Amino acid sequence: MAAKRATAKSNVSGEELTQFYRDMLLIRRFEEKAGQLYGMGLIGGFCHLYIGQEAVVVGLESAAEDGDKRITSYRDHGHMLACGMDANGVMAELTGRAGGYSKGKGGSMHMFSKEKHFYGGHGIVGAQVPLGAGLAFADKYNGNGRVTFTYFGDGAANQGQVYETFNMAALWDLPCIFVIENNQYAMGTAQARSTSSQDIYKRGEAFGIPGEMVDGMDVLAVKDASERAVKHCRSGKGPYILEIKTYRYRGHSMSDPAKYRTREEVQKMREERDPIEHVRQLLLTGKHASEDDLKAIDKDIKAIVNASADFAKESPLPDEAELWTDIYAEAT
Ligand SMILES: Cc1ncc(C[n+]2csc(CCOP(=O)(O)OP(=O)(O)O)c2C)c(N)n1
Ligand SMILES: [Mg+2]
C-alpha cells in the first residue's frame, strides 16, 4: 500500500495507522483475557489493567528506536506488549508459570526484558522515576544516543522523589522523557482531590524542563508529541515532560469496586473518546482499510491472545529449586 496521509494534523501513513490499530487492539484483548483469567482464579495477587490507556504507550513507542529504554509502574502489561515482548511470556508470568518472563516468580508487576530494554514493572509508586533517570544517566555517560521513557501516574507525580529526580535530570541534561500517564485517578482519588495544580506538565518549569499536555485518547497526538520529546532528548538538550491525559475504563486493580465514579462517566469516555475506535474510524474514512480488513486483524489478534492463554495454562508451575535462583545479579 502506498504511503498516504491519514489526517491533516499528523504525517502518518496507512501502514502506520494500521499498525497502531493492531498494537492497541492487542493490548485491549490481552487485558480483557487477563481479566477473565483473574476471574477464573488463574491469576492471583494484584493485577492492574491498562484498558482505555492503549494510545499512550503505542504512540510513545512509535517514536522509539532500537536500544531506547523504558521503565514503568505496576500498570505494565501494555508497555511490555508495545515494546515487542512476547504475549505468551507475559501471560505465563501473570499466571505464575515457569514459562513467564520472571519464571513465574514475579507476576504482573515484576517483569523485565534485557532484549527489549524493558526495566519493569515497579509496585512501589514513583520508585521507577529515579531509576529511569539512572538509566538515562548511563546512556549519557556511554554517549550512545539512547533515550529512556520513564512512565508514571498522576498520583505518583505528587511524590517528592519525582522532584529530586527532575532536579538531577535537568542539572545533568539527562536524555529522559518523563511520561505522566494522567488517567485522572490515583486508586479511588480523583486528581482534583489530590493535586493542587491540575497542570502537571508545568511542574518541570522550576527546573527548566519543558513540558506539554497531550490528548492521550488520540494516538496521533501522542505520536507527534513523542517525536518532539525524543528529538529534544536525543539532541542533548536534557529531559522533557509529557503529561498525557488518558482514562482507565476498569478499576484501579481487579479488586477495585470503583465506587468513586459513576458508570455514566466511564460510559461517556468509552462511547465518545475510545482511542481504538478513533483509529478504526480514521482507517475506514481514509480508505486505508475495509471492514473486512479490520475483521481479519481482529481475528489475528484474538488468535495471538488465545494462544497466550493456552501457553500460560499449559506451562508448569516453577520448580521449588527456583526459590534459590535469580537472587543476586550475575557479575558482568
Ligand atoms: C509508595 C507507595 N505508596 C502507596 C502505594 C499504594 N498505591 C498503589 S497504586 C496507588 C495510586 C497511584 O496512582 P497513579 O500514580 O495515578 O497511577 P495509576 O494507578 O492511576 O496508573 C497507590 C497509592 C504504593 N504502592 N506505593
Ligand atoms: Mg492515575
The H or E element containing residue 190 is: strand 189-190
Spatial separation of the C-alpha atoms in residues 270 and 263, rounded to whole Å = 11
Pairing of strands 185-186, 189-190: antiparallel
pLDDT band, residue 140 (cuts 50/70/90): very high
Q: Is the pLDDT of residue 1 over 60?
A: no
Nearest C-alpha neighbor of 229 from the set 240, 221, 215: 240
Nearest C-alpha neighbor of 281 from the set 7, 82, 36, 46: 7
Largest CA-CA distance found in the chain, in angstroms, rounded:
58
Average pLDDT of the chain?
Answer: 95
User: Which residues, 6+ apart, have CB-to-CB distance to 235 below 8 Å?
Assistant: none
The pick from 56, 72, 125, 253 for probing ligand 1's pocket by mutation, whose C-beta has the most ligand atoms within 8 angstroms, reads: 125
The pick from 187, 244, 245 for probing ligand 1's pocket by mutation, whose C-beta has the most ligand atoms within 8 angstroms, reads: 187
Average pLDDT estimate for 101-117: 97
Q: What is the DSSP letter of 99?
A: T
User: Which residues, 6+ apart, have CB-to-CB distance to 7 below 8 Å?
Assistant: 220, 282, 286
Spatial separation of the C-alpha atoms in residues 324 and 289, rounded to whole Å = 51
Q: Is the pLDDT of residue 116 over 90?
A: yes
Q: Is the CB of 125 under 6 A from ligand 1?
A: yes
Report the pLDDT value the prediction gives residue 10, as an integer from 0 to 100. Answer: 66
pLDDT band, residue 4 (cuts 50/70/90): very low
Percent of residues, the chain, with pLDDT higher than 70: 97
